[in-house]
Amino acid sequence: MFCFNNLKTVSTYTKYLPHLSITAFIIFLTTDYLPLTKKATPVSSVKSLNVGDSDNRKEKHKSSNNDKGEKLSQEERERRMAIFHYNEGNKFYKEKNYTEAVILYTKALHHNKNFKEALINLSTAYMKKMVFKKALKTLQAGQSQFPQEPLFDYNYACYYSLRKDLVSGLLSLKQAVGKGFKQFKRIENDPDLINLRQSEEYKRWIEKIISERAK
């Protein structure tokens, strides 16, 4: 996964929502999220993200109607808001507008702090912007919530490769493979891993992997 500009400013969440039209509101309430590809899931962190914890609110859920007249709980509305912002973030990511992508992935996490794909994509977008400190924080937060998700280890490998910490990078890559990451063509072609691929230890490891897979 390639560690995943129009500098148009996106207003804060509290200012953004009131300006949504009724039509747009209905659309994002009924949409499903579109996974990205790469380190971003599915498009490549132990300090926590500065996102809200709306999923853990204990107040009574309010209800609203969707376009089919069905009532939606507050929890479901938060989930759909998260998906809406995640999808918008993916659009900007694909356009290589990583500044906007970061804003929108963060908004998605405001509505659902356990949104795994948003965490993965956010870490990747930060790396694309070369904002390594925040990329690391995001990876740490994601891995603490989803310790068995190999994409966090893969993104760690990209992070360390970009930072030229080849020992830690190879260790993270091995952990990703150990947890089920099998996209070896991606490993061999990801530009974020170029520093890591130049190390002799990596070359011995990948040769062994390829040999074992050929049996």
Residue 124 pLDDT class (50, 70, 90 cuts): very high
Contact status, residue 161 vs residue 195, Cβ threshold 8 Å: yes
> What does the pLDDT look like over 64-119, one tens digit per residue?
455 555 688 999 999 999 999 999 999 999 999 999 999 999 999 999 999 999 99
Tokens 């659309």 -> residue: 27
φ, ψ at 64 (rounded to 5°): -140, 170
pLDDT at 69: 57
The residues near 119 (Cβ < 8 Å, ≥ 6 apart) are 45, 49, 109, 138, 141, 142, 145, 146, 152
CA–CA separation, 143 vs 107, rounded Å?
Answer: 19
Residue 17 pLDDT class (50, 70, 90 cuts): very low
Asked whether the predicted pLDDT for residue 139 surpasses 60, the reply is yes
More confident residue, 116 or 53: 116
Contact status, residue 72 vs residue 96, Cβ threshold 8 Å: no
CA–CA separation, 172 vs 160, rounded Å?
Answer: 8
> What does the pLDDT look like over 197-211, one tens digit per residue?
999 999 999 999 988
> What does the pLDDT look like over 64-78, one tens digit per residue?
455 555 688 999 999
Contact status, residue 1 vs residue 186, Cβ threshold 8 Å: yes
Lowest-confidence pick of 48-57, 83-92, 133-142, 196-205? 48-57
Q: What percent of the chain has pLDDT over 90?
A: 63
Q: Where are the alpha helices (DSSP H) in the chain?
A: 13-16, 22-30, 74-94, 98-111, 116-128, 132-145, 150-162, 166-178, 184-189, 194-197, 200-214
Mean pLDDT, rounded, for 16-32? 44
Look at the alpha carbons of 143, 145, 146, 147 in this order and tell me if their dihedral is positive or negative: positive
Kindly state the tokens that stand for 109.
Answer: 């996490």
What Cα–Cα distance (Å) separates residue 148 from each residue in 153, 155, 176, 180?
9, 13, 9, 9
CA–CA separation, 113 vs 195, rounded Å?
Answer: 32
φ, ψ at 72 (rounded to 5°): -110, 135
List the end-to-end C-alpha distance of the chain, in Å, as a whole number: 26
